[in-house]
Amino acid sequence: MNSTNLETILEGRRSQPHQLIEVLQDVQDVYGYIPKDVMGIVAKELGVPLMEVFRVAKFYKAFTLKPRGKNVITICTGTACHVRGSQLLIDQVQGQLRLKPGDTTKDGLFTVECVNCVGACALGPVVVQNGSYSNHMTPGKLRRAIDKVQGKKKEESPHA
Amino acid sequence: MIEEVTLTIDDVLVKAVKGISVLDAAVKSGICIPHLCHVPFLSDIGACRLCIVENVNNGKAKITTSCTLRVQEGMVIRANSEKVLKLRKNIAELLVAHAPNSRAIQDIAVRCGLKEVRYPFHNANCVLCGRCVRYCSEMWQGNAIGFVGRGKDRHVEYPFGKRPDTCKKCNSCVLYCPMSVTPCGEVMKTGEEHLCGKCDSQMAMAEKIPGACVWCETGKSFQCARYA
């Protein structure tokens, strides 16, 4: 199935080095990240040196080389959000999921990222969960959102 | 038919083949412009910024790197004006502060008239001149190394950190690296980096006798046995 996916991405784009970024974007959409072996195939099919593919994939922040979790939580740490306490949100996530920003949980459920600004400073602190924006986030709201995904809604209701 | 253009570099009329860079034209005519990242048969990227010149256009002087500036008819270039020398000295100072453990960089710093370094030393082992990267990709079509990351994380690396099969083990990346030219004395350890300045006497002579040649060998960016 994976190879057919790659086949459709590469169709009509073979031997066109200028299509590199578009192809990598599609790969990222399909796989959630850019796997190592896919990079090799892309390099071969587009006629671009592997080094170039690796360099481009490393250069742009939009591309990730590590597998990402099912749920991507993006915490804005821009100036406005920072002032309104985005550090508390990071602490909350770190404590609850035991990971650092940029990492993925072992069960592959969550990836936590920090970005510099999402452009919604008036609504800060902003947390983006799988593309949907949540405004005026608090550690409590964030904890409930994570609990909801983890599927333990009520069992720990008297939470410390 | 080779077209030639005439331009003025440091008040001297210089004839150059159309399409070559100002740096090449100057060096060919014996006008000294220090440079580090330029290798004659490779493309120029203007990474080291040492070869900056003033390009005077309509009475306005613009500072650009001469290696990426193509010659044009009637161009007026100031390669050794006071402003350029001051800026170049500062660039050399930053370079030598970043990576002092190289005779190539130490030589350039002295040649740019540097007497003391005001910045903290870093003892880095790369100045991102890109000589190795360009040599590998342009000379050997190897594409085995390249720049990875950006900003302060930019560094030279193999793809995925592993030597690829396209590497021909030619060792040119080491040969063309300015950091592979070890300093005159022993290798400086972290904490005891300094501006070498052992060849300062040569420069002192050049200052006293204007126009004296310090045998920097115009065209060789630094004094090492290899062509560089």
pLDDT band at B94; cut points 50, 70, 90? very high
Q: How far apart are CA A12 and CA A15, in angstroms?
A: 9
Q: How many CB atoms lie within 10 A of CB B13?
A: 9
Residue among B123, B124, B137, B140 nearest A49 (CA): B137
- Whole-number pLDDT of residue B226: 38
CB-based contact A51 B160, cutoff 8 Å: no
Residues of B in Cβ contact (< 8 Å) with A59: 148-150
Whole-number CA gyration radius for chain A: 19
Could you confirm whether domain B130-183 is CATH 3.40.390.10?
Answer: no
Residue among B95, B124, B115 nearest B207 (CA): B115
Distances (CA, A) of B227 to B96, B104, B217: 21, 12, 11
Count how many Cα atoms sit within 13 Å of the Cα of residue A115 in the half-sphere of its side chain.
19
CB-based contact B148 A50, cutoff 8 Å: no
Cβ of B143 under 8 Å from any chain A Cβ?
yes
Q: How far apart are CA B72 and CA B3, in angstroms?
A: 11
Structure tokens at A38: 């896919």
Residue among B30, B40, B35, B15 nearest B213 (CA): B30
Q: Count Cβ neighbours within 10 Å for each residue of A19-44 and write b for 16 or more, e otherwise.
A: bbeebbebbbeebbbbbeebbbbbbe
When CB atoms are compared, the residue of B144, B146, B166 closest to A55 is B146
Cβ of B137 under 8 Å from any chain A Cβ?
yes
Residue among B194, B35, B187, B184 nearest B118 (CA): B194
Cβ of B168 under 8 Å from any chain A Cβ?
no
pLDDT band at B102; cut points 50, 70, 90? confident
Higher pLDDT, B191 or B48: B48
Place of tokens 């209701």: A157
Alpha helices, H only, chain A:
2-10, 20-31, 36-46, 50-59, 79-83, 86-97, 139-150
DSSP letter (8 states) at residue A68: -
Could you confirm whether domain A71-150 is CATH 3.20.20.70?
Answer: no
Residue A33 has phi, psi (to 5 degrees) of: -155, 180
Q: How far apart are CA B141 and CA B144, in angstroms?
A: 9
**CATH 3.10.20.740 occupies which residues in chain B?**
4-80
Q: How far is B221 from chain A (nearest CA, A)?
A: 28
Q: Are B78 and B53 in contact (CB under 8 A)?
A: yes
- Whole-number pLDDT of residue B225: 37
Q: What is the ipTM of this complex?
A: 0.80
Residues of A in Cβ contact (< 8 Å) with B149: 58-59
Contact residues for A108 (Cβ-Cβ < 8 A; gap 6+): A67, A69, A70
pLDDT by residue (tens digit) across B1-32?
A: 889 999 999 889 999 999 899 988 988 887 87
Residue among B11, B18, B15, B39 nearest B134 (CA): B39
CB-based contact B159 A59, cutoff 8 Å: no
Q: Average pLDDT for consecutive 10-residue bins of chain A (160 residues)? A: 78 88 91 89 90 92 86 90 91 88 84 88 88 89 88 55
Residue B99 has pLDDT above 60, yes or no: yes
Q: Which stretch of A47-61, B59-73, B135-149, B212-226 has the lowest confidence by average pLDDT? A: B212-226
Q: Are A137 and A89 in contact (CB under 8 A)?
A: yes
Axis-axis angle for helices B82-98, B103-111 (nearest 10): 160
User: Which sequence spans correspond to the domains of chain A?
Assistant: 2-59, 71-150
**CATH 3.30.70.20 occupies which residues in chain B?**
130-183
B7 pairs with which residues across the strands?
Answer: B14
Q: Are A67 and A126 in contact (CB under 8 A)?
A: no
Name the closest residue on chain B to residue A55, using Cα atoms.
B148
Could you confirm whether domain B4-80 is CATH 3.10.20.740?
Answer: yes
pLDDT by residue (tens digit) across B150-209?
A: 888 999 999 988 899 889 899 888 888 888 887 777 788 888 888 877 766 666 666 676
- Whole-number pLDDT of residue B120: 92
Q: How far apart are CA B228 and CA B1, in angstroms?
A: 30
